Amino acid sequence: MEPMHTHISHQYNAELEDIRSKVLQMGGLVEHQIEQALRALTSGDTLLGEAVIMNDAKVNQLDVTIDEECNHIIARRQPAASDLRLVMAVIKTITDLERIGDEAEKIARMAVKLAQEERPKNNYAEIGALGSHVRDMVHEALDAFARMDIEAAVKTAHEDRKIDQKYDGVMRQMITFMMEDPRTITRALDVIWAARALERIGDHARNICEYIVYFVKGKDVRHTTLEQIERDILGREDKNTR
């Protein structure tokens, strides 16, 4: 992170480093929440589900703390250029992390509810597979954030589509179940909600990847297609830096 080390003020550097490392701390907590929520769902563990619901308050607390720190930096340090982009990327990233936390909490609530009901033979294996993929994507997005690695960010953003395909697979399977036996409809809808929550986590992870690109390139890519990003940014990078 070159720009961090060019400041005269060591204190300012330390503040910028601090918000970055707190984002990673919050990210680690959110990853853990996803993992535990999925385990609660697939193992029918009510206590674990309830722990995840409780721990969402910690995610929210970090969101508030980091947001306040960012506001202080803006007010006191008057950041410009890449420092300002970093603070903005942090503010946006924590909003998405907080919402990923909310989705994990929803999955945990679903886990608690489904634990009371008859278990399907495969123990919601389809949700488990989709869930691992989504958790990996969040991990990779945070890893790209830690290194502010634009190439990793663009690659990770791509995973969103594969997740959408897996999600469509879960939907088709649930529709088949419901058609075969209408008594499974309410349970199948709960599985669909859990899958929907996972799919939305994928969207948030993709947003985080886009903030990384914005930080590095100073270009707003939120409304650009992935193909354009690759053509514009990686293409140019290929030419210029290799």
- The site for a copy of itself (CB under 8 A) is made up of 57, 60-61, 63-64, 67-68, 71, 74-75, 78-81, 84, 88, 91-92, 95, 98, 171, 175, 178-179, 182, 185-186, 189, 192, 196, 220, 222-223
In whole angstroms, how close is the CB of 80 to a copy of itself at the nearest point? 5
Considering beta carbons, is residue 68 or 238 the nearer one to a copy of itself? 68
46/187 Cα distance (integer angstroms): 17
In whole angstroms, how close is the CB of 29 to a copy of itself at the nearest point? 15
130/125 Cα distance (integer angstroms): 9
Considering beta carbons, is residue 27 or 152 the nearer one to a copy of itself? 27
CA distances from 13 to 50, 73, 149, 161 (A): 39, 11, 20, 37
Given a contact cutoff of 8 angstroms between Cβ atoms, the answer to whether 127 and 190 are in contact is: no
Considering beta carbons, is residue 85 or 152 the nearer one to a copy of itself? 85
Residue 161: how many other CB atoms lie within 10 Å: 12
In whole angstroms, how close is the CB of 238 to a copy of itself at the nearest point? 26
Task: Give 4's contacts (C-beta < 8 A, 6+ positions apart).
Answer: 13, 16, 17
Q: Which two tokens stand for residue 89?
A: 């990327």
Considering beta carbons, is residue 23 or 87 the nearer one to a copy of itself? 87
In whole angstroms, how close is the CB of 192 to a copy of itself at the nearest point? 8
